[in-house]
Amino acid sequence: MQVLPFSEARAQLAQALRRVEAGDQPFSISRRGQVAGVLMSFEQYQRLSGKPTGFAEKLQAWRTHNLTPDQAGLVEDPFAGVRQLDAAREFSW
């Protein structure tokens, strides 16, 4: 993680923010030689803070973590084993 002195961070904030938004590593900001804060992208912050994400993001994360790449690419009907196959009930709006 790159360390920026506070004076440089203040002078180069726009450039540093563009770098973290582009996916670069977070920056430590130091004051008087001690790390005082961190500048990171909002996405990184959400991952670290455990803030909830949408269902689609959670499902994709689960698939990535729990399935092999060849399994993740399969498009199967998850309800195939429980779906009733006989004639459906009559329905109208």
Structural domain spans, the chain = 2-72
Mean pLDDT of 41-59: 80
Interatomic CA distance for residues 48 and 42, integer angstroms: 10
- Structure confidence at residue 59 as a pLDDT band (50, 70, 90): confident
* pTM of the predicted model as reported, rounded to 2 decimal places: 0.48
Interatomic CA distance for residues 51 and 42, integer angstroms: 11
pLDDT at 69: 67
Mean pLDDT of 53-77: 74
Topology given in CATH for the domain delimited by 2-72: YefM-like fold (3.40.1620)
CB-count burial class (<10 Å; 0-12, 13-18, 19+) for 88 = exposed
In this prediction, what percent of the chain has a pLDDT beyond 90? Answer: 2
